[in-house]
Each structure stands twice: as structure tokens, then as C-alpha cells.
């Protein structure tokens, strides 16, 4: 057998082949798989978190509730489920920048942000962001001014942290839907800030 000069197939091709094999053998129902994918792409994911942030930016009463009882305020928008039983929201300010990590594994607020990104689960991020957060954030593209204190919050099985990013300047007249489109998962974890487009 001659080796393929193009190398082994990439992850997406291997995943597709595995799915076809499982469906062909009757071990998995394609409709069920499609339902899982649709759920994590459309119903569970960063868009949920962006919706929460935009609501807090446009509704002072909701913002106060979110910071007081994140779990209940988030649940009021229909975002509940495993990995979201107890969520604490930390407000980014001009004086303090919050960043979230899970040093033990990858505890993450799935109902609000979907599946955790690979960098969040990486042992290097989990260890370094606690010891040298300013350096790690700079490496990820976020330069936090020296006068702004950085606080690192360690999520666990008991509590998951997320941040309420600062609203970017120049967005005062935007409706919640347009504001939500500006918010990224990384900004809610605290490794980025929200920028006006």
C-alpha cells in the first residue's frame, strides 16, 4: 500500500466518515444527531450569553438583578440546564477587569456560552492565567492598562462565573438585537472586550 501524499484526512472529514458509518449501521439516527448539532449551534451557545449582556445593557433593572442573582436572571430568559445551576455575574469596570478560568478541569456555563473553547480547557491557560493574567490576556490580544486591577475567578462544579462586559462607546442608540451581535463569548469569559463595529 502506498502512503497518501496528501496525508491523513482532517478532523471534519473523519467526523463525517464516522457519522456515515454509525448511521449506515443503524447505531445512530441522523435526525437525532442533527438535533444535537442544531441545539448547540442555535439554542445553546454564545448567542444566549450575548442576549443576556444586551438585556443588561438596555434594562437597568435586569442588570441589577443579573449582578445580584445571576442564575435567576439568566433563567428568566429561558437559559437553564446542566452546568448552569449556579451562575455568578461579575461586572467589568474601569477599575477592575475580571477573567474566568477553571483550574481543575473545564467547568463552564454551558446554557449561556455553549461548549467551552479548546483554549479554555488547555492546561497552560488554566495554570498561567492564575499566575500571570496580564501576560496571558496580552498574548490573547487584550492589553489591560496597568491601572486596571485584574481579578481571576475560578469556576467549579458548584459555581460558574461569567462577566458582564463594558458596553462600547458609541452604541447608545442601538437596539438589544444589534448590541447582542457585538458581544463575543471571549468577552463574557473576560479574555476580550466588546468593540463597536
**How far is it, in rounded angstroms, from Cα 61 to Cα 68?**
11
Q: Residue 40: CB partners within 8 Å, gap ≥ 6? A: 114, 115
Cell of 146: 496597568
DSSP-H helix ranges across 25-155: 30-38, 46-58, 60-68, 70-75, 110-113, 118-121, 123-131, 133-139
Which member of 12, 105, 118, 155 is catalytic?
Answer: 105
Q: Is 155 annotated as a binding residue?
A: no
Pick the closest to residue 50 from 197, 167, 172 (CA basis): 167
Q: Is 107 annotated as a binding residue?
A: yes
118 carries an active-site annotation:
no
Q: Is 76 annotated as a binding residue?
A: no
**How far is it, in rounded angstroms, from Cα 168 to Cα 63?**
16
According to DSSP, the β-strands at 87-91 and 160-164 are parallel
Which member of 12, 76, 107, 156 is catalytic?
Answer: 107
Longest dimension (CA), the chain: 68
Tally of CA atoms within 13 A in the half-sphere of 90 that contains its CB: 22
Three-class SS of residue 166?
coil
**How far is it, in rounded angstroms, from Cα 168 to Cα 179?**
9
Which member of 102, 118, 155, 156 is catalytic?
Answer: 102
107 carries an active-site annotation:
yes
Q: Is 105 annotated as a binding residue?
A: yes
Which member of 106, 118, 155, 156 is catalytic?
Answer: 106
Active site residues per annotation = 102, 105-107
Annotated binding site for Fe(3+): 102, 105-107
Positions at the binding site: 102, 105-107
Amino acid at each position: 500500500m502506498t502512503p497518501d501524499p496528501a496525508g491523513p484526512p482532517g478532523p471534519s472529514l473523519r467526523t463525517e466518515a464516522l457519522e456515515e458509518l454509525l448511521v449506515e449501521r443503524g447505531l445512530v439516527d441522523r435526525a437525532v444527531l442533527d438535533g444535537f448539532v442544531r441545539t448547540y449551534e442555535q439554542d445553546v451557545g454564545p448567542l444566549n450569553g450575548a442576549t443576556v449582556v444586551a438585556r443588561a445593557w438596555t434594562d437597568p433593572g435586569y442588570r441589577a438583578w443579573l449582578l445580584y442573582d445571576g442564575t435567576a436572571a439568566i433563567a428568566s430568559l429561558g437559559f437553564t440546564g446542566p452546568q448552569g445551576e449556579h451562575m455568578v455575574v461579575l461586572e467589568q469596570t474601569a477599575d477592575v477587569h475580571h477573567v474566568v478560568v477553571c483550574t481543575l478541569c473545564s467547568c463552564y456555563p454551558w446554557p449561556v456560552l455553549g461548549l467551552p473553547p479548546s483554549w479554555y480547557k488547555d492546561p497552560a491557560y488554566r495554570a498561567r492565567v492564575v499566575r500571570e493574567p496580564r501576560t496571558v490576556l496580552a498574548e490573547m490580544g487584550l492589553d489591560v492598562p496597568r491601572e486596571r486591577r485584574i481579578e481571576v475567578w475560578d469556576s467549579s462544579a458548584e459555581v460558574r462565573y461569567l462577566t458582564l462586559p463594558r458596553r462600547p462607546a458609541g452604541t447608545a442608540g442601538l437596539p438589544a438585537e444589534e448590541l447582542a451581535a457585538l458581544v463575543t463569548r471571549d468577552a463574557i469569559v473576560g479574555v476580550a472586550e466588546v468593540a463597536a463595529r
